[in-house]
Amino acid sequence: MAAPLDARAVAALLHTREAGDGPLLLCLHGIGSSSASFAPQLAAFADRMRVVAWDAPGYAASPDLAAAPGMDGYADLAAALITARGHDEAVVLGMSFGGVIAARLAQRHPGLVRALVLGDSTRGSGQSPEQAAAMRDRAAELAEQGAEAFAAVRARRLLRADAPEREAADAAAAMASAIRLPGYGHAADAMAATNLDGTLASIKAPALVLYGEADRVTGARESEAIAARIPGAVLRSVPAAGHLANQENPDAFNAAVAAFLDTL
């Protein structure tokens, strides 16, 4: 049996990108991404908050873990990172997989979450056996194809359908530089084992749910379901954006986040 995760020790080793000062905005990236994906948010919010974006364990510049942490483990690592930065609470912005971590963080450590921003997120891939199996299969595909070929196939679908080829190539390059095994497989396992559908009502933090109008991965339906289940959640769409809404249309995405922050 693997040793229990020492969240505080692991959090101290995670690579982050940081900017600004003040209340903490913690940014958690998607399953095929890294802290680099939050460059627009680091730039936009550094004048009002301390923005910290992590590379999840096993991604980009963060070290690998010996064993899969599971969704609870990722949430505990995020909690440890908040306290490691000397804060007793944070606004947590999670994109896709990062949104699932953020929601689980709000459930496991409610006192640490001032508010949630869930971008192009999901209730987890454990909503059906088929979804779970497809998610778990991704690790084998990555192992077989390699990061560059794997990313070349997947990155295009993350963007709005009419995104230019240069943007698709940049997204593929960013994904290839961020993902590797075993970290990607650990994340896929956590997603496959997670279905938050029946538990989201337990979240008490104010929540903003955002989705790209042209998101072909999780789409409006999944964000609508999340917003309907979190008490008081606000639902907003981001025009001219797909699954990577915070990168594809950062001006609109950041404006929605800023307006939400002003209500806290």
C-alpha closest to that of 210 among 194, 195, 227, 197: 227
pLDDT tens digit string along 195-240? 999 999 999 999 999 999 999 999 999 999 999 999 999 999 999 9
DSSP string, 23-66: SEEEEE--TT--GGGGHHHHHHHTTTSEEEEE--TTSTTSPPPS
CATH code at position 183: 3.40.50.1820
Mean pLDDT of the chain: 96
C-alpha closest to that of 155 among 247, 27, 257, 258: 247
Beta bridge mates, 235: 209
Kindly indicate the confidence band of residue 10, based on its pLDDT and cuts at 50, 70 and 90: confident
Q: What is the pLDDT of residue 142?
A: 98
Q: Which two tokens stand for residue 29?
A: 């990236």
Helix/strand/coil for 132: helix
To 10 degrees, the CA torsion angle through 75, 80, 85, 87? Answer: 80
Residue 1 within any structural domain of the chain: no
Residue 125 within any structural domain of the chain: yes
Kindly indicate the confidence band of residue 2, based on its pLDDT and cuts at 50, 70 and 90: very low
pLDDT tens digit string along 150-189? 999 999 999 999 999 999 999 999 999 999 999 999 999 9
C-alpha closest to that of 233 among 99, 134, 76: 99
pLDDT tens digit string along 88-102? 999 999 999 999 999
Residue 164 within any structural domain of the chain: yes
pLDDT tens digit string along 161-172? 999 999 999 999
Task: Report the predicted TM-score, pTM, of the whole model to 2 decimal places.
Answer: 0.97
Considering its fold, how many domains does the chain have in total? 1
C-alpha closest to that of 158 among 213, 215, 98, 118: 215
Structural domain of residue 242, as residue ranges? 7-262
Percentage with pLDDT > 90 across the chain: 95
pLDDT tens digit string along 31-67? 999 999 999 999 999 999 999 999 999 999 999 999 9
Residue 121 within any structural domain of the chain: yes
Percentage with pLDDT > 70 across the chain: 98
**What is the arithmetic mean of pLDDT over 114-119?**
98
Kindly indicate the confidence band of residue 1, based on its pLDDT and cuts at 50, 70 and 90: very low
Residue 2 within any structural domain of the chain: no
